[in-house]
Structure 1
Amino acid sequence: MDVQGMVADGFEPVRKAFVRNFEQRGDRGAAVAVYVGRRKVVDLWAGTADADAGPGADRPAPWAQDTAQVVRSATKGVAAAVPLLLHQRGQLDLDAPVGTYWPEFKANGKDRVLVRHLLSHRAGVPVLDTPLTPAEAGDGVSGPEAVAAQAPVWEPGTAHGYHAQTYSWLLGEIVRRVTGRSIGRWVAEEIAGPLGIDLWIGLPEAERARVGRLAAVETPTPPAAQGLRVRAKRSVSDAYRDPASLTRRAFGAIDPLPDENDPAYRAAELPASNGVATARSLARFYAALIGPDANSGRRLFAPATLTLARTEESAGPDRVLVVNTRFGLGYMLHGPASPLLSPASFGHPGRGGSLAFADPETGTAFAYVTNGMQQNVTADPRAQALVRALRDCHAAQGR
């Protein structure tokens, strides 16, 4: 495996884990980046930019230093920063009813849904009675209209369940109502542009050629772990196979599922699922949430906002994911469903592989992106191998 990039002294175990992801865990094209404070300590990439390119492919394009990738639900962590920054600037009250900013949303018993409920997956609208087509999902109008008209499937604020797709229209519309800008434009103008990072919600046409192709790949299972893994996944798998379950309906709010390699899909602004980024830029984004950016020196979150992001808002049985999950305001927190670096960590995985998070206690920001989509939602074995290696590095260095 021809691995490109660098690791700082003391972080070599992360490189070893990255290589093993290709040798043993089915990776085809991927990158990982880690910052500690303003110091870049890991920046690695390898494999092919096209996950469809199997061993017999004719000279597939290699994953390059600037290859970007669709990161699926890891986009949610980027999107969550927008309402939190609007709150930090005094433009958005997290404890106000959503209807204060978006009057149409009050329909069908949602008048008491608070802004914070959107971020903590407590709004009660993870599903749509009538799913949207991929074209409708990305047109900027149909999604907000659908969630505004939707009746909640539980009393808002009383439980939580992962809003896998509807998160796009809930957050996107509240940002548009408050700022007059789309969430993708806001991210470009207020986050990615000032930081100088390659991160988009709504991919510009000029950047299309840089983005790798996603493909489903098998998840290799060591023989010793086969029984444990089957038992751990059975309830989620059963729920997803049931067309009437909240699990299936939440992920199926767009039907049929979009072709994530379609340029039209990538150009749409779906902050739940279609962000595009390099691992390096995604890590720098998280580093800027907790401290000064490595290049620009900018810091995004004030201390009080950082506390909001990582303070538990939802915990326990997740009505959609059918496991116990923990969420702050917009961010998944460390726990069995999504192990991060430490109990202080906050971030977001992407279904099938990607993961990005920050850990304020060690000043660490981590991002892993891949084009090989495996059958998992929150705890990809490749990402977890890298996190374990990083945890060992910190332990060896006394962090």
Structure 2
Amino acid sequence: MSVNGTVAEGFEGVREEFEAFLVEEPAEPGAQLAAYLDGRLVVDLWSEGVERESLTGVYSVTKGAAHLLVALLVQDGVLELDRTVASYWPEFAAEGKDRLTLRELLAHRAGAISVEGGFSAEELADDRLVAERLAPHKPYWEPGTAHGYHATVIGALTGEVVLRATGRTLQELYEERIRAPYGLDLYLGLPEELEPRFVSLQEAAPTPEQLAAFAGQPLPGKDDLFATSFNLRTDLVDFVNRRETRAKGSASAGGVGSARGVAGMYAAAISGFGGHGPLLKPETVAEFTTRQYRGTDLVTGEVDNFALGFETSGLRYPFLGADAFGHPGVAGGQGFADPASGVAYGYTRRRFTFPPSGGAPENDRLAAAVVAAARTVR
């Protein structure tokens, strides 16, 4: 399978690693890889099955974009991390959620992972509807006492706080403050005129175990909270392939973009480019990249690695700095910023992973190659 695109001098090994991965995975229907170094695009690659300008559903990579906006609002003093969610959104106080702070919400400690019966694909696409149904609902654990991944709803929850505090939707503010100024191909609400650039996700052939999981049964070795939080009664592949999902831009998993757009968003966060400075101050990065709690995630069963809205990417990839931050997507995509190396990384692909997991395995080697090259040429 051929690789298209360019790399800057010193990053030839990244292209070789990408080519090697595609040789091992000849059925890959299309992947993109991009990276910035100190605000300069140094890797811009794509395989057969996609073009440079192709856009696809990025699932939870979306959460990184949503929570970059939240970080900006905290930096501006519009939101306060240790203020209760209910002080912004009074209806959320029901069923014992009244003392939960915004900090705890961003660390996935609300327990408000879903509602009885789950959400349909149409409902999940609508953040306002999701928030309205979650507000009066009893949480799945006592808020603030434990953490568990709010896979399909966290963006609706934080988005409602943004709306109540500013009078503007998270999607509107992301477009105004982040996407448009930097010209990013990462959308929370894809304009209809860009639909011709969208390429659908393609399923790998699922095993019987995987089919059972996506029929709403718990995955082997996982608690029911996993199926509840991921809303596995909804076909997640169909979810991002729906025009309604792309149009509304659910802040949990409805984003649409390219690897270049993902990497560019993280470059904007820490370095800036195109005549614009970095979005985040060092003290904001420090606040939002500090792991909040230690222990086991009640939903995933894994050791927790959440900071505030972002994952602490250095725990996933030990070759990154301690303040690296980002978010993977269930289809295998990944995005992160590593202030220590100056790298901003983006990876998207059309092949969905089964069972659901964040960040496809090839990211380990691709990201390592990017960071190694960056440290050599910087």
- TM value normalised by structure 1: 0.86
Residue in structure 1 matched with residue 240 of structure 2 by the alignment = 260
Superposition CA RMSD, Å: 2.5
Provide the identity percentage. Answer: 36
Which whole-Å CA distance do the structure 1 matches of 2:188 and 2:153 have between them? 16
- Out of 80, 94, 104, the residue aligned to residue 67 of structure 2 is 80
**2:307 partner letter:** G
Quote how far apart the aligned CAs of 1:218 are.
5.8
- Once the two structures are TM-superposed, the CA of residue 338 in structure 1 deviates from its matched residue by 6.0
Counterpart-to-counterpart distance in 1, 2:129 and 2:251: 15
2:11 matches 1:11: yes
Of 261, 273, 282, the match for 2:262? 282
Partner Cα separation in structure 2 for residue 328 and residue 340 of structure 1: 18
Given that residues 338 and 379 in structure 1 are in contact (C-alpha distance below 8 angstroms), is that contact kept between their aligned partners in structure 2?
Answer: no
- Asked if the contact 2:125–2:254 (Cα under 8 Å) also holds between the matched residues in 1, the reply is no
2:342 aligned to which of 363, 376, 380: 363
Note if 1:213 corresponds to 2:188: no
**Higher mean Cα deviation, 207-216 or 256-265?**
256-265
Counterpart pick for 1:151 among 132, 138, 146: 138
Give the conservation status (yes or no) of the 8 Å contact 1:337–1:378: no
Q: Which residue of 2 aligns with 1:312?
A: 291
Aligned pairs (5 A) from 1:1-399 = 1-25=1-25, 26-48=27-49, 63-217=50-204, 239-241=218-220, 245-252=224-231, 255=234, 257=236, 258-291=238-271, 293-334=272-313, 341-375=320-354, 376-394=356-374, 397=376
Q: CA deviation at 1:379?
A: 3.9
Deviation at 1:243, TM superposition (A): 9.5
- Quick one: distance in 1 between partners of 2:136 and 2:319? 36
| Per-residue deviation, 1:5 | 1.3
Partner of 1:222: none
Give the Cα separation in 1 of the matches to 2:304 and 2:273.
32
Which residue number in structure 2 is paired with residue 54 of structure 1?
none
Question: What letter corresponds to residue 133 of structure 1 in structure 2?
Answer: S
Shift of 1:186: 1.2
Q: Tell me the SS of whatever aligns to 1:326.
A: coil
Q: Deviations over 1:186-244 (max 9, x none)?
A: 1111111111112211111111111111012269xxxxxxxxxxxxxxxxx99525897
Unaligned segments of structure 1, at least 5 residues: 49-62, 220-236
Provide the C-alpha distance between the structure 2 equivalents of 1:195 and 1:398, rounded to a whole number of angstroms: 25
Q: Tell me the TM-score normalized by structure 2.
A: 0.90
Q: Secondary structure of the residue that 1:366 maps to in structure 2?
A: strand
Q: Which runs of 4+ in 1 moved over 6 A?
A: none
User: Any conservation in 1 of the 2:186–2:255 contact (CA below 8 Å)?
Assistant: yes
Q: CA deviation at 1:145?
A: 1.3
Bigger drift between 36-45 and 352-361 goes to 36-45
> In the comparison of the two structures, how many residue pairs are matched?
368
User: What amino acid does structure 1 have at the position aligned with 2:48?
Assistant: G
For residues 373-399 of structure 1, what are the alpha-carbon distances to aligned partners after superposition, in whole Å with 9 as ceiling and x for unaligned? 12251241122220122243245x187
Shift of 1:43: 0.8
Q: Check conservation: 2:109, 2:147, Cα contact below 8 A.
A: yes
Cα distance in 1 for residues equivalent to 2:337 and 2:16: 22
Between the aligned partners of 2:42 and 2:249, the Cα distance in structure 1 is 32
Q: What residue is the counterpart of 1:51 in the other structure?
A: none
Q: Is the 8 A contact 1:176 1:182 kept in 2?
A: yes
- Higher mean alpha-carbon deviation, 94-103 vs 149-158, is at 149-158
- Looking at structure 2, the residues matched to 259 and 379 of structure 1 have their Cα atoms a distance apart, in angstroms, of 19
Alpha-carbon distance, 1:15 to partner: 0.6
> CA-to-partner distance for each residue in 1:104-149, whole Å, 9 max, x for gaps?
0000000011111121111121232231222222334321111101
